[in-house]
Structure formats: C-alpha cells, structure tokens
C-alpha cells in the first residue's frame, strides 16, 4: 500500500489524503473544484493563488455547491504555508501556473520550506502547467537533490477550459507505463480528468507529448480557419460545410469540437457562439507554439510548418481583441485580411504587413 496515500487513519480505519493546489486561473479553478467535490470525509484540500480575489471567489463558489465539506477546505495566503500552515503533511501539491519561471519560483519556495521543516514522509509535486522542458528538468533535479525522497512530476493536460470544467482532461506523465503510476496518483488525476497517458520514463516526457500535441493544434487551427474562409469565398453554406468536414477527411478538433462557425453545434455552446469568448485563448496557443518550436531547436528537429505558423500567431496576438479570445477567432481575423502585392492588409486596423 502506498505510504503517501495512507498518511493517517481514523478509528474506523478510513484512509485520509491531503492535497494542495496552487493556481486558480481559468484551468486551475475547475481542476481544484473537482478535487474539492470528491473529497472523502477525512481528506483536506489547501489552495492558493497570487490573486487573493481569485482564492476568495473559488472558496465561495465551491463551498456553496458542497457546504458540508467546507471545514475540509483551507485557503492559504503564502506558499510556505503548504508546509507550515497545514494540519499534517500534504500527499500531493498540484501547480497550474502560467510560465516556467512561476513553476520554478513556487517549487523553490516549497523546497526551502520543507528543508526548514523536515518531514517524516514524502510529498509529490505535480506540475500541470505547460512550460519549457529544460526548466521542468531543472526543477525536477532541484527537488531530487534537496529532498531525495520527494518527487516532482510533469503532468500537463489537454482538453482546454472545457475539459477542465467537465472534469474530462487528459493527463500526460513522465512515466513509462500505467503500472508506474501509483494508485493514489491515479485517484487524484481521475478527480480532474478521464485519461492518463504515460509518455516515457525520462522526466519531461509528459511535456514533450503536450508540446507536440499543441504544435499540431496550432497548425491545424490555422489551416481550419483558412479552409473555412476558402469555403466562404466559394459562397458555400458554412453550417453545411462544417457538418461535411465533421464526417470527412478534413475532420479535426479545431474543425468540430471547436468549430469556428457560429451556430453549427448550439447544444455545445462553443466559443464561436459567444463571440469567441472563453476557451483556449490565442495568446496561450501562441505560447505553446513558441515553446514547441524552441524545444524542437534544442533537440535538433526542424519543424517545417513551425516558423510560418508562429509568425501568424505572433501577428494575431499584436491585437488584444484577438489574443485574448479563443483561438478559433483566427477564422474571423483571416476574413478581415486582404492581400495587396506582397503584403497583407488588415481591413479592421488598416495595418500593412508581410509574413
């Protein structure tokens, strides 16, 4: 039986687990909400966000949905308090933060706090952020050097905000096989998602899979936007065309699950139906695309569609109204462009540029 899963017993021999969650943004708030919703009677959940209002809103939201578990939830105001401000040592601490520097900062603070307050058991750090592989490897090595019995695992996710909200995320782990994922870790990940994919034994394998996947997403999303604008130029009925693509060789997540044409799947309430609000924003797609292309260079792998795709996403993100909306908004943007000679003209801003 896993030690980390059996931190404490009640007189009735009921297992107890203690969880921490850092980062209550668009994704993290839903992931932590699912953990809270499935806490067993003796479990505890501790949460933190750099924005106090986000932490307060999270606590108010989840406790209104499950008031009977309110005493099992604690909001913390400093990262070291995941060590010093808890009833007993945490089994897992999940982080979902924007960039590698944030992951490094969070884990460095935790490591120092644990070193100053030695523990009898081990805590596992799970990072579900999408960051560069070298930084994740550096943080992993820091943990193993300073706290040899602890672990730091890259557990990035796929499924976007919708998947986080529904609890259907896919987790990618640096583990060779399913048998290498402990039962207590499986239980925690199943709180938040529906798929667990071991991607390789070397640390960073989960991130490698995530960046490869999101590179594909970024490129296909751009192609989908171009395709639907071509269909529009042909004066096709776009709702009918979208349905055709959904059962044809052009089918992809970007063309169906995140269809850029409003009204095609009203039952799914897609971002296209609400002005491309919510969802996986273009800025984050750009971030993942840049990470993928940068890491590809470090591994001496040429990405033949990487540079040209990156240029389009970088240009789109110069406009705040495009960068902060769902990536399907690129369909709308491409419809606002026209080509004059060797340059493109943005009809909305009158800007001229080349790619």
Q: What is the mean pLDDT of residues 288-305?
A: 95
Report the DSSP pairing between strands 8-9 and 15-16.
antiparallel
- Residue-wise pLDDT for 59-109, tens only, equals 999 999 999 999 999 999 999 999 999 999 999 999 999 999 999 999 999
Per-residue burial over 124-155, b = 16 or more CB atoms within 10 Å of its CB, e = otherwise: bbbbbbbbbbebbbebbeebeeebeebbbbbb
pLDDT, residue 120, reads: 87
Take residue 173 and report the two structure tokens written for it. Answer: 């782990």
pLDDT, residue 12, reads: 41
Number of alpha carbons in the 13 Å side-chain half-sphere of residue 199: 24
pLDDT, residue 118, reads: 93
- Phi and psi, residue 227, nearest 5°: -65, -45
Residue 15 banded pLDDT, cuts 50, 70, 90 = low
pLDDT, residue 7, reads: 44
Q: Is the pLDDT of residue 10 over 70?
A: no
What CA dihedral angle connects 302, 173, 151 and 83, to 10 degrees? 110
Closest CA to 289 of 316, 271, 261: 316
* CA–CA distance, 72 with 166 (Å, rounded to integer): 22
CB 315 within 8 A of CB 355: yes
> In DSSP terms, which residues pair with 94 in a beta bridge?
21, 126
Q: What is the mean pLDDT of residues 178-188?
A: 97
Residue 13 banded pLDDT, cuts 50, 70, 90 = very low
* CA–CA distance, 118 with 142 (Å, rounded to integer): 16
Q: Is 101 exposed, middle or buried (0-12, 13-18, 19+ CB in 10 A)?
A: exposed
CA triple 274-280-283, angle to 5 deg: 110
Other CB atoms closer than 10 Å to residue 353's CB: what's the count?
A: 13
Residue 196 banded pLDDT, cuts 50, 70, 90 = very high
Instruction: Please state the CATH superfamily assignment of the domain spanning residues 18-202 in this structure.
Output: NAD(P)-binding Rossmann-like Domain (3.40.50.720)
pLDDT, residue 269, reads: 87
* Relative orientation angle of helices 28-37 and 52-65, to the nearest 10 degrees: 30
- Looking at the chain, the domain(s) classified CATH 1.10.1040.10 span 209-353
Take residue 163 and report the two structure tokens written for it. Answer: 């998947």
DSSP string, 59-113: HHHHHHH-GGGGGGEEE-SSTTHHHHSSSS--SEEEE--SSHHHHHHHHHHHHHH
DSSP string, 236-259: --HHHHHHHHHTSTT--TTTTTT-
- Looking at the chain, the domain(s) classified CATH 3.40.50.720 span 18-202
DSSP string, 289-302: HHHHHHHHHHTT--
Residue 2 banded pLDDT, cuts 50, 70, 90 = very low
Is the four-CA dihedral 70, 35, 204, 161 of positive or negative sign?
A: negative
209-353 CATH choice from 1.10.150.120, 1.20.120.80, 1.10.260.40, 1.10.1040.10:
1.10.1040.10
- Mean of the per-residue pLDDT values for the chain? 94
Q: Is the pLDDT of residue 3 over 70?
A: no
| Ramachandran quadrant class, 270 (left: phi over 0; alpha: psi -120 to 50; beta: rest) | beta
CB 330 within 8 A of CB 316: yes
* CA–CA distance, 204 with 132 (Å, rounded to integer): 9
Residue 202 banded pLDDT, cuts 50, 70, 90 = very high
Q: Is the pLDDT of residue 1 over 50?
A: no
Q: What is the mean pLDDT of residues 180-189?
A: 97
């Amino acid at each position: 039986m896993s030690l980390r899963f059996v931190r404490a017993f009640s007189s009735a021999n009921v297992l107890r687990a203690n969880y921490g969650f850092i980062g209550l943004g668009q994704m993290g708030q839903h992931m932590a909400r699912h953990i809270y919703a499935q806490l067993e009677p003796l479990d505890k959940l501790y949460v933190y966000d750099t924005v106090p209002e986000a932490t307060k809103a999270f606590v108010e939201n989840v406790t209104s949905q499950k008031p009977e578990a309110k005493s099992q939830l604690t909001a913390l105001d400093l990262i070291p308090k995941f060590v010093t401000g808890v009833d007993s040592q945490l089994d897992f601490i999940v982080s979902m933060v924007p960039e590698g520097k944030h992951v490094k900062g969070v884990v460095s603070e935790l490591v120092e706090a644990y070193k100053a307050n030695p523990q009898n058991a081990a805590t596992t750090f799970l990072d579900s952020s999408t960051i560069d592989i070298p930084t994740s490897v550096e943080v992993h090595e820091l943990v193993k050097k300073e706290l040899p019995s602890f672990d730091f695992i890259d557990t990035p996710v796929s499924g976007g905000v919708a998947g986080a909200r529904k609890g259907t995320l896919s987790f990618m782990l640096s583990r060779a096989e399913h048998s290498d994922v402990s039962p207590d870790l499986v239980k925690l990940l199943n709180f938040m998602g529906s798929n667990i994919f071991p991607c390789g034994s070397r640390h960073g394998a989960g991130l490698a899979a995530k960046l490869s996947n999101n590179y594909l997403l970024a490129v296909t999303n751009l192609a989908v936007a171009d395709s639907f604008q071509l269909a529009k130029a042909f004066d096709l009925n776009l709702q009918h065309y979208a349905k055709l693509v959904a059962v044809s060789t052009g089918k992809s997540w970007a063309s169906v699950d995140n269809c850029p044409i409003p009204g095609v799947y009203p039952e799914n309430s897609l971002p296209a139906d609400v002005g491309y609000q919510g969802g996986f924003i273009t800025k984050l797609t750009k971030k993942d695309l840049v990470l993928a292309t940068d890491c590809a260079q470090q591994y001496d792998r040429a990405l033949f569609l990487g540079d040209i795709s990156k240029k389009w996403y970088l240009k789109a993100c110069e406009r705040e109204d495009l960068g902060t909306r769902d990536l399907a908004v690129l369909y709308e943007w491409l419809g606002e462009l026209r080509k004059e000679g060797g340059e493109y003209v943005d009809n909305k801003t009158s800007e001229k540029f080349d790619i």
